[in-house]
Amino acid sequence: MLEAQYDFAAVVPGGATKAEFRAMLRNLLVERFHLRYHRETRELPLYELRVAPGGHKLKQTANEPPETNAPSFTRTPDGYLTFPRGVNTRFWGNGPRFSLRRVHTTMDEFAGALENEWLHAPVANLTGLTGQFDFYLRFDARRETPASDEPLGPPLEQSLRDQLGLVLRQSKGPHEVIVIDSFDHQAAPN
């Protein structure tokens, strides 16, 4: 397999959305490398996000103003990070202990965060929940008991169930993929 790396320098217009940026990048690859591709649907591993038996434990968005003079985060005695009220974060770790705060978040947005920030695999939102929610999640990223005396915290799946009333299950399902048919290894000049 041929491995090549390329450096790109481009100016993205101010106010461009992520979708517009992706379209610009795709057009650049098509123009400069004569990229030819097609889309197809394949059966791939994925995750399903569902409401746990007994119901969810999420709270509807409270419309609280963000804290203004608060530090960016603090650490709890058991090693997890906490964040100021009203702040939307990515998955943040303190060693193997991870925390996440979401505000004004739909379940589609949360499924997207799980997919893009943590699992790096497709996540289907099958919760049926509508509206926006505020929540705080904490979990231990380790899968095995450490050699030290430090106790192992709950993994992501258990934390989702216990703290949010959600279930994350592995499954298989149709997923659209991009298949590269051909491209030039040398970029065409500007």
Judge whether 175 and 41 are in contact, CB under 8 Å. Answer: yes
Q: Among 82, 77, 47, 40, which Cα is nearest to 180's?
A: 40
DSSP H helical segments within the chain, as ranges? 18-33, 107-113, 156-159
Contact 129, 50 (CB under 8 A): no
Predicted pLDDT of residue 149: 67
Alpha-carbon span 101 to 136, nearest angstrom: 4
Instruction: Write down the pLDDT at residue 64.
Output: 65
Per-10-residue mean pLDDT of the chain, 190 residues long, equals 72 89 91 94 94 95 65 81 83 88 93 93 94 93 70 88 96 89 87
Q: In this predicted structure, what is the pLDDT of residue 126?
A: 96
